């Protein structure tokens, strides 16, 4: 009997050892850097950084050429976007990665709503609206209401019309504006506005409304419904406060301390500016007005600046060996290259709204403030003579407003291309050797993966839009 007790106690001890070993192995299987119960705050910085960085990198190649800021000097047949020759790789640029970050913003919103955290809900709604607007403005109709549901078994989402997407954006931004509790600081880090301090939360709210202004202006040409919405919005500054100065601008100021480094910080110098050259038209625009930003952006050739022609003759070897101004390398480390929406853009929009009769105000005051703050963004504070330049000074036209806004949007993702398509300004140059019959691309075609894996919905949206090519206009284009 005594021997049986010893055996039982030994077995219990052995089971106890096994149990403790199993517990230890379970602990080892856990990632020490993982988060078991993530909060909404854990998504903010990294997801925003990844989204901004991706857009900046793609815009460096695509927007700069479509907006005729720059030319890529490559072997014939490669990377010829400035000739309106769009490759399959270019069409992929704003699809998969932006949707991954959109999923993060949606998850951020879900977690915030579960915790009834009004501020993180409002921020998530704002960033979701900002990112989906970037996606739809590149392609037109895209999946949104039915997107990102792979875990639920839906891997073939339908495509919403761009109008449906914009209408949803306006509902979400309206809700975001109403949610902010300016008495409660954020509970996590915030590299955009440092809203861990309650006083800075108003900057998020002002960005929400500045984004609303951007997007309402983008669609105001689609009818009275949107013009009335815009008028009501602008007539209620107390309800919809806007940015007050450059400090309220939405710029992801890179710390250049890993992981939050400039989008081009680790890119080889040659990859950053070896093939890209500023265009003749962009250099000419800045040089003709003695724009003080020119030496901050462009390298000199000899004692001046030389731009490369858009659509230069591909067969002429002189253009492949000549010297042209390119991006200065300091831009690789610049903290200003994380631009989401500047205060100056808002002021240009307000000036345009006055000129178009959509609000009462002084268009010149808004315009002068826009130009001045656009220069100040780059550290230039002495600008009186610039504003007096006859090619810069306010003349009450949309063309003049857009001319300076175009320059101010340098480095702001795809916004230059979007605004050229919306307004037709500035007028673009038709180069000597162009594709697409010289027609400026109205959109990017869908990636080949959409046709391959979502053919039924692809066929439906292509039939609805009238094709899947560069010349099918997105909804808000006239």
- Rounded to two decimals, what is the model's pTM? 0.91
The enclosing domain of 62 has a CATH number of 1.25.40.390
DSSP 390: T
Structural domain includes residue 275:
no
- Local confidence band at 32 (pLDDT 50, 70, 90 cut-offs): very low
Q: Are 260 and 47 in contact (CB under 8 A)?
A: no
Tens of pLDDT, residues 204-244:
999 999 999 999 999 999 999 999 999 999 999 999 999 99
Rounded CA-CA distance 458/448 in Å is 10
Structural domain includes residue 192:
yes
Following DSSP, what letter does each residue of 198-223 receive, concatenated? GGGHHHHHHHHHHHHHHHHHHHGGG-
Share of the chain above pLDDT 90, in %: 82
Structural domain includes residue 32:
no
pLDDT given at position 79: 57
Q: Are 405 and 419 in contact (CB under 8 A)?
A: yes
Rounded CA-CA distance 101/132 in Å is 10
pLDDT given at position 7: 39
Nearest Cα residue to 312 out of 434, 428, 438: 434
Rounded CA-CA distance 265/272 in Å is 9
Give the H/E segment covering residue 374: helix 363-377
Rounded CA-CA distance 435/85 in Å is 6
First to last CA, the chain: 96
Following DSSP, what letter does each residue of 247-280 receive, concatenated? GGSEE-----BTTB--TTTTS-HHHHHTSEEEBH
Number of domains in the chain: 1
Structural domain includes residue 396:
yes
Nearest Cα residue to 311 out of 275, 281, 271: 281
Rounded CA-CA distance 32/13 in Å is 30
Structural domain includes residue 470:
no
Rounded CA-CA distance 226/76 in Å is 45
Structural domain includes residue 159:
yes
Tens of pLDDT, residues 384-413:
899 999 999 999 999 999 999 999 999 999
Q: Are 356 and 399 in contact (CB under 8 A)?
A: no
Structural domain includes residue 221:
yes
- List residues bridging with 277 in a β-sheet: 71
- Local confidence band at 33 (pLDDT 50, 70, 90 cut-offs): very low
Question: 107 vs 38, 110, 114, 167, 316, CA distance in Å?
Answer: 10, 5, 11, 21, 52
Indicate whether 6 pLDDT > 50: no
Tens of pLDDT, residues 411-452:
999 999 999 999 999 999 999 999 999 999 999 999 999 999
State the average pLDDT over residues 258-278. 91
* Residues across the chain: 478
* Structure-token pair, residue 437: 């019959």
**371 lies in which domain range?**
42-262+337-465
pLDDT given at position 28: 45
Instruction: Count Cβ atoms within 10 A of the Cβ of residue 296 and give its class: 0-12 exposed, 13-18 middle, 19 or more buried.
Output: middle
Structural domain includes residue 31:
no
Rounded CA-CA distance 283/407 in Å is 11
Tens of pLDDT, residues 85-99:
998 889 999 999 999
Comparing 143-147, 249-253, 439-443, which segment has the lowest mean pLDDT? Answer: 249-253
- Local confidence band at 35 (pLDDT 50, 70, 90 cut-offs): low
């Amino acid at each position: 009997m005594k021997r049986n007790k010893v055996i039982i106690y030994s077995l219990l001890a052995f089971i106890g050892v096994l149990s403790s070993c199993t517990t230890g192995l379970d602990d080892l299987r856990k990632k020490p850097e993982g988060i078991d119960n993530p909060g909404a705050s854990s998504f903010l910085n990294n997801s925003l950084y990844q989204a901004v960085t991706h857009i900046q990198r793609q815009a460096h190649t695509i927007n700069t050429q479509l907006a005729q800021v720059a030319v890529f000097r490559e072997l014939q047949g490669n990377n010829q976007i400035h000739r309106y020759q769009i490759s399959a790789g270019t069409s992929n640029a704003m699809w998969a990665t932006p949707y991954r970050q959109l999923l993060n913003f949606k998850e951020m919103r879900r977690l915030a709503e579960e915790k009834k955290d009004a501020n993180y809900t409002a921020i998530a709604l704002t960033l979701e609206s900002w990112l989906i607007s970037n996606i739809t403005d590149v392609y037109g109709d895209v999946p949104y209401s039915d997107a990102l549901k792979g875990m639920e078994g839906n891997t073939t989402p339908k495509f919403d019309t761009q109008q449906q997407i914009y209408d949803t954006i306006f509902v979400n931004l309206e809700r975001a504006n109403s949610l902010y509790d300016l008495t409660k600081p954020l509970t996590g880090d915030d590299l955009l506005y440092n809203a861990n301090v309650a006083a800075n939360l108003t900057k998020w709210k002002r960005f929400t409304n500045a984004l609303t202004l951007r997007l309402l202006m983008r669609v105001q040409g689609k009818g009275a419904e949107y013009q009335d919405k815009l008028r009501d919005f602008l007539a209620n500054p107390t309800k919809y406060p806007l940015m007050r100065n450059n400090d309220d601008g939405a710029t992801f100021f890179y710390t250049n301390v890993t992981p939050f480094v400039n989008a081009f910080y680790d890119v080889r110098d040659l990859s950053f500016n070896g093939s890209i050259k500023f265009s003749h038209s962009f250099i000419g625009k800045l040089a003709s007005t003695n724009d003080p930003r020119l030496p901050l952006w462009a390298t000199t050739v000899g004692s001046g600046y030389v731009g490369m022609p858009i659509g230069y003759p591909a067969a002429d070897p002189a253009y492949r060996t000549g010297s042209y101004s390119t991006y200065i390398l300091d831009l690789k480390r610049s903290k200003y290259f994380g631009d989401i929406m500047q205060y100056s853009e808002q002021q240009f929009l307000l000036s345009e709204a006055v000129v178009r009769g959509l609000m009462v105000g002084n268009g010149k005051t808004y315009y002068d403030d826009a130009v001045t703050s656009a220069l100040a963004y780059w550290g230039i504070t002495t600008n009186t003579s610039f504003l007096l330049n006859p090619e810069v000074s306010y003349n009450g036209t949309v063309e003049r407003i857009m001319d300076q806004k175009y320059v101010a949007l340098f480095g702001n993702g795809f916004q230059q291309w979007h605004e050229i398509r919306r307004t037709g300004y500035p007028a673009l140059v038709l180069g000597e050797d162009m594709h697409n019959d010289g027609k400026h691309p109205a959109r990017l075609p869908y990636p080949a993966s959409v046709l391959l894996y979502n053919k039924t919905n692809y066929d439906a949206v292509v039939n609805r839009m009238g094709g899947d090519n560069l010349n099918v206009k997105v909804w808000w284009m006239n």
